[in-house]
Amino acid sequence: MATLKELSAKKELFSGGHRLCAGCGIPPIVRLILRSAGSPVVATTATGCLEVGTSIFPYTAWRIPWIHSAFENAAATISGIESAYKAMKRRGNIPADKEIKFLAIGGDGGTYDIGFQALSGALERGHNFVYVCYDNGAYMNTGIQRSSATPFGSATTTSPAGEVRKGKKEWRKDLTKIVVAHNIPYAAQASPHNWRDLEKKGAKAFNCGGPAFLNIISPCPLGWYTKSEESITAAQLAVDTCYWPLYEVENGVLRVTYKPKEKRPIEEWLKIQGRFKHLFMPENKWLLEETQKRIDAEWQRLLEMDGKHVF
């Protein structure tokens, strides 16, 4: 695991001057993931905030070979690139000792929903690549519409909060567990506030020898209705309330990588976000109670699996 000094000395592969929003969680995630690779990287990005904010012609924030994929096929694109690399090695077009890493990145819309078929197929085929999902909990790039990653009770433009409806009625899809069920070498959840944990998981993902998946919570001031300067605090609260637990599944064994010394109530994370303000009305108290109950139960189940084989 690299120290902070060692990481800061590495070449910056994702430049400043991009057009992502102030306080967006995506830039620190991408910068740290690229630093954790330890080898040359080829990346593809699904349509979304990251792609739009970093590649408006004729400019680019990418200092590596990079391809823009459609919303639905980032994992298929990186699968083709990785397959071509192996074929060129067999033919002698690329030196046998030249190592290149492969990275696909998508938001929750392009990963949980539209791109899931391509991701599932690439994982099942066993391609050697890392897929990073920056999960900001909605289709932020196209107008803050709900996705299957949107939290229960969240107000979005397609799950508005009002007299009839109290935000999103469904609990968020647990994509990390679904990916783990593909029996891949490595899968993990991470957060940009914990750089040490994120860098370590990135390095493991790039060096596990097969498909790897990193699900990383990504604060979005625009869609969360938070202050830009509070994004990292928001990410930390998501972890300390156990809404977003940090864990990994390495070769079938689950390990919780961070256990809060004092588990915070979910209200502390919800109350700083405008998308949940309706939950704090007296008549909606039951929604807060339901959310806390669900999070407590899921956290307890996760602790019970700590150190055990899950497949």
Per residue in 118-164, pLDDT (tens digit) is 999 999 999 999 999 999 999 999 999 999 999 999 999 999 999 88
Q: Which residues pair with 42 in a beta bridge?
A: 102
Range of the domain at 76: 4-305
In a domain? residue 230 = yes
Does 63 reside within a domain?
yes
Nearest alpha-carbon partner for 259 in 214, 302, 204: 302
DSSP at 164: S
How many structural domains is the chain composed of? Answer: 1
Q: Is the dihedral of CA 36, 309, 170, 277 positive or negative?
A: negative
Whether residue 68 contacts residue 51, with contact meaning beta carbons closer than 8 Å, is answered with yes
Helix (H/G/I), strand (E/B), else coil: 71 = coil
Give the mean model confidence (pLDDT) for residues 289-310. 98
Q: Quick one: pLDDT at residue 260?
A: 97
pLDDT band of residue 3 (cuts 50, 70, 90) is confident
Share of residues in the chain with pLDDT > 90 (%): 95
The torsion region of residue 225 among left (phi > 0), alpha (psi -120 to 50) and beta comes to left
Q: Are 259 and 271 spatial neighbours (Cβ–Cβ below 8 Å)?
A: no
Residues 6+ apart with CB under 8 A from 143: 157
Q: Answer for the pair 25, 231: CB distance below 8 angstroms, yes or no.
A: yes
Say what percent of the chain tops pLDDT 70: 100
* Number of C-beta neighbours around residue 164 at 10 A: 6
- 161 lies in some domain: yes
Q: What angle do CA 291, 108, 267 make, to 5 degrees?
A: 25
The rounded mean pLDDT for the chain is: 96
Residue 191 backbone zone (phi > 0: left; psi -120 to 50: alpha; other: beta): beta
310 in any annotated domain: no
Residue 197 included in any domain: yes
Please tell me the predicted confidence (pLDDT) of residue 256. Answer: 98
Does residue 233 fall inside a structural domain? yes
Rg of the chain over all Cα atoms, to the nearest angstrom: 19
SS3 content of the chain, % helix, strand, coil (to 5): 40, 15, 40
- pLDDT at 1 exceeding the cut of 80: no
Q: Cα(175)–Cα(286) distance, rounded to whole angstroms?
A: 26
Q: Is residue 311 part of a domain?
A: no
Please state, in angstroms and rounded to a whole number, the distance separating the CA atoms of residues 238 and 150: 14
- b/e burial code for range 52-65 (CB count within 10 A of at least 16 → b): bbbbeeeeebbeee
CATH code of the domain containing 295: 3.40.50.970
Q: Provide the whole-model pTM.
A: 0.97
Where does 138-276 have alpha helices with state H? 175-180, 195-206, 221-224, 231-240, 267-270
Residue 180 within a domain: yes
